[in-house]
């Protein structure tokens, strides 16, 4: 069974909060085809990089080679920082980041503990395809953040979504198709 590792956003993660709607959408749509793994990240309402890194490292090490990683918001930027610091011991089929903040885009987003390693893309480039989903009018993390990742990662595809959603409680058009496309090799 193909594995999907889902790394949630910052903020409350209770029912109808944070990434819960997006996670439920994935679980419902992927059902028996995929094993969706969604660890609770430490202190999501006051997140810090090192505790998230430790959980992420443990979860990645437990995956089979060829897993798909789907991240939401802070989960995406934490994954990119982690991968910029060290090569994973596992190979991924694809990385899908939804509305990931790029912490160096300007001084308002320069949170030291989440800044990427210099020339981070050289560490990430050996990875497979990266797909970035982001709403054009996202009020939490502006679309320009995914544009910046797209500029830095030569293997990235940017999927600009209509509207102003950040949480995607009803899912994302094309996300499940992107995951299934990976599984079928198309």
Please give the mean pLDDT across all residues of the chain.
Answer: 92
**pTM summary value:** 0.95
pLDDT digits (tens, 9 = 90+) for 75-100: 999 999 999 888 777 889 999 999 99
Task: Give the separation between CA 49 and CA 47, rounded to whole angstroms.
Answer: 7
Q: What is the pLDDT of residue 1?
A: 87
Print the SS3 string covering 134-147. Answer: EECCCCCCCCHHHH
Residue 36 half-sphere exposure toward CB, CA atoms < 13 A? 21
Q: How many CB atoms lie within 10 A of CB 165?
A: 20
Determine which helix (DSSP H) or strand (DSSP E) holds 27, and give its type and residue range: helix 20-30
What lies within 8 Å, CB to CB, of 156 at 6+ separation is 129, 130, 131, 132, 149, 150
pLDDT at 118 over 90: no
Q: How far is CA 124 from CA 1, 119, 120, 155, in A?
A: 26, 9, 7, 9
Structure-model confidence comparison of residues 163 and 121, the more confident one: 163
2 bridge partner residues: 34
Q: What is the pLDDT of residue 17?
A: 94
Residue spans of beta strands (DSSP E) within 59-118 = 67-72, 92-98
Q: What is the pLDDT of residue 122?
A: 77
Joined tokens for residue 147: 């544009």
Give the pLDDT mean for 143-154.
Answer: 94
pLDDT at 167 over 50: yes
Percent of the chain residues topping a pLDDT of 90 = 77
pLDDT digits (tens, 9 = 90+) for 6-45: 999 999 999 889 999 999 999 999 988 899 999 999 999 9
pLDDT at 185 over 60: no
Orientation of helix 20-30 relative to helix 175-184, angle to 10°: 40
């Amino acid at each position: 069974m193909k594995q999907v590792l889902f790394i949630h956003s910052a903020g409350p993660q209770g029912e109808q909060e944070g990434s819960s709607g997006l996670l439920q959408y994935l679980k419902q749509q992927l059902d028996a085809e995929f094993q969706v793994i969604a660890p609770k990240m430490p202190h999501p309402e006051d997140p810090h990089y090192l505790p998230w890194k430790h959980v992420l490292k443990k979860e990645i090490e437990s995956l089979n080679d060829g897993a798909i990683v789907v991240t939401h918001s802070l989960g995406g930027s934490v994954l990119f920082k982690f991968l910029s610091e060290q090569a994973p011991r596992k190979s991924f089929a694809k990385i899908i980041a939804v509305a990931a903040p790029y912490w160096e885009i300007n001084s308002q987003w320069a949170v030291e503990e989440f800044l990427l390693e210099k020339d981070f893309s050289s560490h990430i480039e050996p990875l497979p395809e990266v797909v970035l989903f982001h709403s054009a009018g996202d009020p939490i993390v502006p679309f320009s953040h995914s544009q910046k990742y797209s500029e830095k990662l030569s293997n990235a595809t940017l999927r600009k979504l209509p509207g102003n959603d950040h949480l995607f409680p009803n899912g994302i058009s094309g996300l499940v198709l992107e995951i299934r496309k990976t599984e079928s090799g198309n």
